[in-house]
Structure 1
Amino acid sequence: MIDSILTWTVQRRLASIDHFRQHPHEVQARVLQELLLKARATEWGQRYGFADAPNAAEFARRVPISSYEALYPAIERVLRGEPDVLWPGRVQWFAKSSGTTNARSKFIPVTREALHECHYRAGRDMTALATALYPENRVLAGKTLSLGGTHAPNPFRPDEADSRVGDVSAVIMQNLPSWAEYLRTPPLELALLDEWEEKIERIARHVLTVDVSVLAGVPTWMIVLLRRVTELAGASNITEVWPNLSLFLHGAVAFGPYRELFRQLIPSEQMSYLEIYNASEGYLALQDQRGSEDLLLLLDHGIYYEFMPLDQFDAEHPQAVPLDQVELGKTYALVLSTNAGLWRYSIGDTVRFTSLAPYRIRITGRTKHFLNAFGEEVVIENADAAIAAACRATGTTVRDYTAAPIYFDASAASRGGHQWLIEFSQPPQQPERFTAVLDQKLRELNSDYDAKRHRNLALEPPMLTVASTGTFTRWLASKGKLGGQHKVPRLSNSREIIEEVLRQV
């Protein structure tokens, strides 16, 4: 009965999802007007004239696109407790992200509106779509095992117990409404532990006897937990422990390289997978179709979207287009204005549109995380697909990887290349075959890479370096980034990251 009531409750969101699918431009126009009017009395609202509710074109003309660095002076004032700077009132919660555009932590305000009208509303959408797409799985019948990070006192207001910073997953978990908390496991005192080795061990022991039907979290850490649970139970695979397990809600990293590994860990025909795109800045998109990896852009969740074309990334005064001007197949950087008080904020992620009716996207990478040392323009989407193809061809799976350029040396015959540092669950028996398939798939996917690889004129074949088990975990630990939303940067145009990781091999 509880299962049926919960299913009926969350599926009421399906009508709202259908509405913004069918009326995307009207919905986005309304969201922009609501944001501007809500923030009209703030410092930014007064500076840029939000009170007269400018239309999209005038809003873009008045307000500059901001990076985190440009917006940080205002965010720091919010962190210190100053009210009415970017959003009405004082903000108590902040999502702390290591970021992948620079080394220092980012602090993203999480307002009450952002929690309830963005993250939690999207959580209901996710649950509604999961129950509609997979009715045979009864995903609400058991518990959702969610892995998240932790939170700590706000370092700018250490004496205020109710002002906290942490991984966005921890911020969301700590503030969950009662209906959502009822659905999940483990209890908060375990879920929010900050020491990841202890957290994995204690959670694994706790959930041994829980009826888990859904998993939610980052694939890399979920793998560690599933292996430990299986080991503690003395089982051959996780379905012997949780026979009703039927869905994995995953995000933060591309799932392609992990797909085969999860098939091995969960050899069940009833198992389904649903990708979510949930960032510190907001809950942005999720899968809404069976058998498709495209993500539906969420348009009525307090976020107004703009899209910056590739040729604007490094412009002195970058320009972005609204939703009704995007084109299929083009790569854009996301620019968001949100109910957390972020105004025309470039979050650093890039996406490509796969559908315009409704608007669906795929995440292609980061504005500063791609391989383009030699004009090859390899983005993360290319890299993940090539890694997945090489895994299929050689019967192996990848735990983690990073790639960087091999630059020209003084030799007249020297050419550039890419070094791929990969940690496998089991190294391929034919590493040369893995490298050859990786190279060939990249050539198929990326014409710029293919041109540079033609007859080895500008790029040598990829160089594969096999990392020992635990290499990337040791590197993350050395940087104080173990667990939570922290992840290994996949691609870089410098060798700084790969050299640091190589020292852990």
Structure 2
Amino acid sequence: MGIGSAVARLASAQYLRRIGAFMRHPLMAQHGVLGYLLQQGRRTRYGQQHRLDAVHGYRDFCQALPLAHYEDLEPQIEEMRRGGRDILWPGITRWFAKSSGTTGHKSKFIPVTNDALRLCHYRGGYDTLALYIHQHPHTHFYHGKGLTLGGSHTLEKGYGKSKEGDLSAILIQNIPRWADFIRTPKRDVALLADWTKKLELIANEVVHQRVTNLSGVPSWNMVMLNYLLEVTGKPNISALWPHLEVFFHGGVSFTPYRDQYQRLIPSAGMHYMEIYNASEGFFALQDREASDELLLMLDYGVLYEFIPMSTFHTEHPTVLPLEGVKLGENYALVVSSTNGLWRYVIGDTVRFTNLSPYRIKITGRTRHFINAFGEEVIVDNADQALAWACEVTGATVTDYTASPIFMGADAKGAHEWIVEFSTPPTSLQLFRDLMDQRLKEVNSDYEAKRRNSFTLLPPTMHAVPPGSFMQWMAQRGKLGGQNKVPRLANNREYTEAILAFMQEAGIGMETV
């Protein structure tokens, strides 16, 4: 065993002991987080406005601070971007993660404080590696480089020294210099905003390197890997990088991409590990390879609260602490954290699969669903239905989006799907019917609305050629980084925009 291996295993043991402690005592861990947040929050203008000095427990905390969406904290965040001190978190915040704005039309700028980097994002990275080493004691991933496909950052004009960009770019920019010896590509390449140029330079740099691990969003990594095969002429990625052994992925559900990655990387020794690292914080990670559940990380300086989705759209939604959650219910996630977000509704939804320890699955977004007719279809339902149709037909899906077709004077409602296949089914109608059937099986509300086509007609499905969604994203200036194709919408904004783009670009598609 080399010195590097010995150091990695020693550090991993320390991280594992800490993880084990909060798994055994989850409520104690969250109580400690609340105490730390209150201590720091009292030093801020926001904390003084809400009298955090008089808060001495969770009940007081709930009474003192309102639930907040981005619009509620935007004035304070704008002050922070202009160099304001002690606004939402003590000190001056230099970095802001620019969200792609999937929950609204404009971009959001999430503060990324030094404490959030240290206690949350980087701790999550260390814990991920520690768990991987523990599960695979004979790993050699540290005998090569890790390829991180991130976004870009730019200096925000007119806002002093503050900088904005994708979270992945901020993490790359702030990692210690020694980490450059074990990662690729070079920082200047990794942070390029021009996606096409970035792919070219990445290829020039990495094709002759020993790459042992990948990190990033599945959709954009797949584009990169296919590009590498194109320029190298290799039959698959295992032929290019025979020592590649793990992909640390997050950002979108891996379900639609799993089969495609197994074809791209046919090595029997390839592993996949999911992380839940959002702009707002690092929240959970896959601690068991045999299960796709994610362990909720309880000592990262994040206090968690949960709103049952059954009450989310009411005037006074129910808000629960960790100890109040139940198995199987869909919750909107609320966080208070070291980046200065206080009781912040981040827009993600989760479902608990285990309460000892606390494990979750990400089920979608609070605004990414279809419920035009009471069917309450969420992203998790859609992923399951598409995965089943793919399994039966042998098809593979690259991207998709769906929305309602609203009822007319003489027409019933339906759902309209736009699906991009890398391997199309021999029969699009069979694929559509299988997906429709599986949706009925996983969602009783959808089944009730589809019964005898009384409320909902069979869905309309468009199959678009490979690369169509990427072209649409390019037209919107959303290539690469953490930008994502919106999966579901309760209106026709995305569907109409994509169909119009397909028509203007002369892109043909099959429809059933």
The 5 Å alignment of 1:299-378 reads 299-378=298-377
Deviation at 1:64, TM superposition (A): 0.3
1:387-435 C-alpha deviation (Å, 9 max, x unpaired): 1111111111111100011111221xx2111111001102211111111
Partners of 2:461 and 2:354 lie apart in 1 by 36
Counterpart-to-counterpart distance in 1, 2:440 and 2:143: 46
Residues 273-320 of structure 1: CA deviation (Å, up to 9, x unaligned): 000000000001000012110000011001000001113322334331
Greater shift in the superposed pair: 254-263 or 74-83: 74-83
Residues matched between the structures, number: 500
What code does the residue aligned with 1:197 have? T
Residue correspondence of structure 1 range 37-436 to structure 2 within 5 A: 37-157=39-159, 159-160=160-161, 163-411=162-410, 414-436=411-433
Query: Equivalent residue for 1:478?
Result: 475
Secondary structure at 2:305 match in 1: strand
Does the CA-based 8 Å contact 2:12-2:134 persist in structure 1? no
Q: What is the one-letter code of the residue matched to 2:449? A: K
Shift of 1:3: 3.1
**2-structure distance, mates of 1:3, 1:229:** 30
- What is the deviation of 1:53? 4.3
Q: 1:156 Cα deviation (Å)?
A: 4.3
Aligned residue in 2 for 1:497: 494
| Structure 1: distance between partners of 2:183 and 2:261 | 21
- Asked if structure 2 preserves the Cα contact closer than 8 Å seen for 1:97 and 1:280, the reply is yes
SS of equivalent residue, structure 1 residue 503: helix
SS of 2:138's equivalent?
helix
C-alpha separation in 2, matches of 1:124 and 1:296: 15
**SS at the partner of 2:259?**
helix
Go from structure 1 to structure 2 and tell me whether the alpha carbon gap of 1:301 and 1:181 turns closer, same or farther (over 3 Å shift): farther
Q: CA deviation at 1:52?
A: 4.0
Return 294-303 or 7-16, whichever deviates more: 7-16
Q: CA RMSD in A?
A: 1.2
Deviation sequence 1:117-159 (CA, Å, 0-9, x none): 10011110011011112223322222111000000112341x5
Cα distance in 1 between the residues matched to 2:379 and 2:44:
38
Show structure 2 runs of 5+ residues with no match: 503-512
Q: Which residue of 2 aligns with 1:14?
A: 16
Write the distance in 1 (CA, Å) between the matches of 2:449 and 2:321.
Answer: 34
Give secondary structure in 2 for the equivalent of 1:288.
coil
Residue 439 of structure 2 is aligned to residue 437 of structure 1? no
Q: Which moved more, 1:107-116 or 1:33-42?
A: 33-42
Identity of counterpart residues, as a percentage? 49
Among 34, 37, 47, the alignment partner of 2:36 is 34
Q: CA deviation at 1:102?
A: 0.2
CA distance in 1, matches of 2:278, 2:492: 27
Deviation per CA, 1:136-185, whole angstroms, max 9, x where unpaired? 3322222111000000112341x53xx21000000011000244333211
Aligned partners of 2:302, 2:101: CA distance in 1, in Å?
Answer: 20
> Is the Cα contact below 8 Å between 2:385 and 2:439 reproduced in 1?
yes
User: Could you say what secondary structure the match of 2:143 adopts?
Assistant: coil
| 3-state secondary structure, aligned to 2:478 | coil
Partners in 2 of 1:442 and 1:431 — Cα distance? Answer: 16
- Cα drift, residue 6 of structure 1: 2.5
CA shift at 1:58, angstroms?
1.1
Q: Is the 8 A contact 1:148 1:167 kept in 2?
A: yes
What SS does the corresponding residue of 2:369 show, helix, strand or coil?
coil
Aligned 8 A contact 1:386 1:442 in 2? yes
TM-score computed with the length of structure 1 as normaliser: 0.97
Q: Is the 8 A contact 2:151 2:165 kept in 1?
A: yes
Answer whether contact 1:41 1:51 (CA < 8 A) is retained.
no
1: CA distance, partners of 2:68 / 2:215: 32
Q: Distance in 1 between matches of 2:397 and 2:90?
A: 46
Q: 8 Å contact 1:68–1:345 — kept in the other structure? A: yes
- Measured in 1, the distance between the counterparts of 2:284 and 2:276 equals 5
SS at match of 2:331: strand
1:469 aligns with 2:469: no
1:433-475 CA deviation, whole Å, 9 max, x = no partner? 1111101111110000011111111111111101122221122
CA contact (8 A) 2:55 2:64 kept: no
* Cα distance in 2 between the residues matched to 1:319 and 1:397: 40
Cα contact 1:131–1:139 (8 A) shared by 2: no
User: In 1, distance between residues paired with 2:432 and 2:226?
Assistant: 28
**Cα distance in 2 between the residues matched to 1:231 and 1:483:** 18
- Native 8 Å contact 1:11 1:129 kept in 2: no
| Aligned match of 2:510 | none
Structure 2 residue identity aligned to 1:128: A
Q: CA deviation at 1:243?
A: 0.5
Q: How far 1:476 sits from its partner (Å)?
A: 1.2
In structure 2, distance between residues paired with 1:257 and 1:344: 32
Question: C-alpha distance in 1, partners of 2:489/2:433?
Answer: 21
Unaligned runs of 5+ in 1: none
User: Which whole-Å CA distance do the structure 2 matches of 1:146 and 1:353 have between them?
Assistant: 30
Cα deviation for residue 74 of structure 1 reads 1.2
Q: Distance in 2 between matches of 1:12 and 1:205?
A: 38
Amino acid at match of 1:74: Q
For 1:7 and 1:424, the matched residues in 2 are separated by 42
Q: Supply the distance in 2 between the matched residues of 1:335 and 1:148 (Cα, whole angstroms).
A: 26
Decide whether the 8 Å contact of 2:272 with 2:289 is kept in 1.
Answer: no
- What is the CA-CA distance between 1:383 and the residue it aligns to? 0.4
CA distance, structure 1, for counterparts of residue 42 and residue 79 of structure 2: 18
Structure 2: distance between partners of 1:341 and 1:248: 31
The letter of the residue matching 1:229 is L
Secondary structure of residue in 1 paired with 2:141: coil
SS of 1:20 mapped into structure 2:
helix
Amino acid at match of 1:17: I
User: The residue matched to 1:135 in structure 2 has which SS?
Assistant: coil
Which letter maps to 2:360?
I
Instruction: Give the Cα separation in 2 of the matches to 1:353 and 1:226.
Output: 33
